[in-house]
Amino acid sequence: MSASSPTVAVPPFRGRIGDDPRSGYYAAPHRYRLHLSLTCPHCLQIAVTHSLLGLGDVLPVTLLPAVPDAPDGGHRALRPLYEASAHLHPGPALAPVLHDNWTGTVVSTHAPDIVRDLARRFGGHRSCLLPPDADEAHAAVERLCEQGVNATAQRAGLHGGDRAERDTALAALLRALDVLELRLASQEYVLGDELTLADVRLWVTLVQLDTVHRHHLDASAVHRITEHPRLWAYARRLTAQPAFGAHLDLDGIARRHHAHCRGTEAAGAAVPIMDWQAYVDRRAPEPTRRSV
C-alpha cells in the first residue's frame, strides 16, 4: 500500500445490469442514480463515461463532497443507502455507488463493472466505447494502468524505503509509459483510431500520476516522466474535450490527497507535468448537482 493512498476496501456490492427484464436489474430510464465524488479516480472514470454516453437525461448523477466527510473515511450521505442494502453494514460508505431507485438498494460499488454496464446496457449507438471484440485489449490497458503506472508510481514514491527498490519501481513505471508512448506514435487513441473506455481509464491514470503520485517523486524522476511527448499531448487533447475536462476538480483532488496522505512530499511536487486547467474547456456544461 502506498504511503500516499488510503486503504481501499473491497467493493461490497457487485450487482450487474442485464439486458433482460427477468434479470432483476435491467436498463430503464430514470431507474438508477449514480453517486460520485469527482476527486476519486474510480468516480472520475465513471463520470467521464457517463458524459461520453450522453446519459444525463436517463441516469442522473449526485455529486458528493471532494473529501469524504465521515470519520471512517466514507461519505455521510451514502450511509442510508448502504444501510438500506445491507443492515448494519460494516466499514465506510464509499463512492462510487450505482443505486436502484425502484428497490432502494445499492446495485454496485465496483467501478469496472459500472462503466461496462453503462456502455453495454445504456450506450445504444455509442456502445462502441466498449467494442465486443476489444475485451482482452481493454483489460490489458487496465492492467498496464493499474500495475504498470499506479502501483509502480506509488512504490517509487515511498519515503524511507530501500533506494534500490524505489529505483526498480521507477524503471518499471518508465517502461510502462514507454509502451504507451509507442502505441500513440502510430494511432490516435490507445486501442486504435476510435476513442474507447480504455482511453478514459488511461486519462484518469495520467491525471493521478501528475496530481497525486508526482508529489512523492524526486524532480529527476518527474523530468523523466515528462519525456513522453505523445502521451502528454494525448492527455491534453482529451482534457480539452468537455466530457473529460468538465469533470476535472484539481483543487478538490489536492484537498483529498492532503487529507489522506501519510507520505512525505518530495521535490517533484514543485515540478508539474502538465497545466491541466489550461486545457479544460470552460464552456463545457457542468453536471447537475443534486442532493441525495
Q: Can you give the pLDDT at residue 132?
A: 80
Comparing 105-114, 128-137, 238-247, the range with the smallest average pLDDT is: 128-137
Q: Which residues contact 41 (CB under 8 A, 6 or more apart)?
A: 204, 205, 207, 208
Q: Can you give the pLDDT at residue 93?
A: 94
Q: Can you give the pLDDT at residue 25?
A: 92
Comparing 58-67, 112-121, 278-287, the range with the smallest average pLDDT is: 278-287
What would the grid cell of residue 9 be?
A: 476496501
Map residue 62 onto helix, strand or coil: strand
CB 54 within 8 A of CB 126: yes
Q: Whole-number mean pLDDT of the chain?
A: 89
Average pLDDT on 138-147 reads: 96
Q: How confident is the model at residue 194 (pLDDT cuts 50, 70, 90)?
A: very high
Residues 215-249 have pLDDT tens digits of 999 999 999 999 999 999 999 999 999 999 999 99
Give the whole-angstrom CA distance, residue 45 versus residue 201. Answer: 6
Q: Please report where in the chains the cell 465496483 appears, as a residue.
A: 110
Q: Please report where in the chains the cell 512504490 appears, as a residue.
A: 155
What would the grid cell of residue 198 be?
A: 480504455
| HEC secondary structure over 91-125 | CCCCCCEEEECCCCEEEECCHHHHHHHHHHHHCHH
Q: How confident is the model at residue 11 (pLDDT cuts 50, 70, 90)?
A: low
CB 262 within 8 A of CB 4: yes
Give the whole-angstrom CA distance, residue 214 versus residue 208. Answer: 8
Comparing 13-27, 49-63, 80-94, 195-209, the range with the smallest average pLDDT is: 13-27
Q: How confident is the model at residue 255 (pLDDT cuts 50, 70, 90)?
A: very high
Q: Can you give the pLDDT at residue 263?
A: 67
Q: Can you give the pLDDT at residue 126?
A: 65
Residues 150-178 have pLDDT tens digits of 999 999 998 776 889 999 999 999 999 99
Q: What are the distances in angstroms from CA 127 to CA 100, 163, 197, 209?
A: 22, 46, 10, 28
Residue 282 reports pLDDT greater than 60: no
Q: Please report where in the chains the cell 450505482 appears, as a residue.
A: 98
Instruction: Determine whether 45 is exposed, middle or buried from the number of CB atoms within 10 Å of its CB (0-12, 13-18, 19+).
Output: buried
Residue 13 reports pLDDT greater than 70: yes
CB 287 within 8 A of CB 61: yes
In angstroms, the first-to-last Cα distance of the chain is 32
Residue 283 reports pLDDT greater than 70: no
Q: What are the distances in angstroms from CA 210 to CA 15, 80, 164?
A: 33, 35, 23
Residue 96 reports pLDDT greater than 50: yes
